[in-house]
Structure 1
Amino acid sequence: VGEVRDEDPEATAAETAELARMAAEQRAFAALGPGRTKSDAESGADGDDTGGEPAVEDIIVTTRTCYHLLRFVDTAFDNGVFFYLWLDRREGNLALARMRLRDMCGRLALI
Structure 2
Amino acid sequence: MPGMDECLSEAMAMPGALVAGLVDWTSGLALGALGGADPQEREAAAADAAEVVRAVAESPTFTAAGPGATGPEVPLEDVIVTSATAYHLVRFVDTAFDSRLFLYVRLDRATANLALARMVLRDLAERLVLA
TM-score per shorter chain, which class? 0.7 to 0.9
What is the root-mean-square deviation in Å for CA atoms of aligned residues? 2.5
- Alpha-carbon distance change, 84 to 68 in structure 1, aligned in 2, over 3 angstroms: same
Residue 115 (structure 2) aligns with: 95
Deviation at 1:110, TM superposition (A): 6.7
Residue 15 (structure 1) aligns with: 48
User: Does 2:59 align with 1:26?
Assistant: yes
SS in 2 for 1:108: helix
- In the TM superposition, structure 1's runs of 4+ consecutive aligned residues that sit over 4 Å from their partners are 4-7
Partners of 2:93 and 2:129 within 8 A in 1:
no
Larger CA Rg, structure 1 vs 2: 1
**Structure 2 Cα separation of the partners of residues 92 and 8 of structure 1:** 20
**Structure 2 Cα separation of the partners of residues 105 and 64 of structure 1:** 27
Q: Structure 2 unaligned segments of length 5 or more: list them.
A: 1-33
SS in 2 for 1:18: helix
**Structure 2 Cα separation of the partners of residues 68 and 5 of structure 1:** 18
**Structure 1 Cα separation of the partners of residues 38 and 81 of structure 2:** 16
- Alpha-carbon distance change, 71 to 2 in structure 1, aligned in 2, over 3 angstroms: same
If asked which structure has higher relative contact order (CA below 8 Å, sep 6+), I would say 2
Residue 3 (structure 1) aligns with: 36
TM-score for both structures, normalised by structure 2: 0.64
Deviation at 1:98, TM superposition (A): 0.2
Deviation at 1:6, TM superposition (A): 9.1
User: Does 2:41 align with 1:38?
Assistant: no
- Alpha-carbon distance change, 71 to 18 in structure 1, aligned in 2, over 3 angstroms: same
Q: Which residue among 28, 33, 48 is the counterpart of 2:72?
A: 48
Opposite residue 75 of structure 1, the aligned amino acid is T
Which structure carries more strand by proportion?
Answer: 2
Deviation at 1:7, TM superposition (A): 4.3
Deviation at 1:31, TM superposition (A): 4.4
TM-score for both structures, normalised by structure 1: 0.74
Matched positions, count? 98
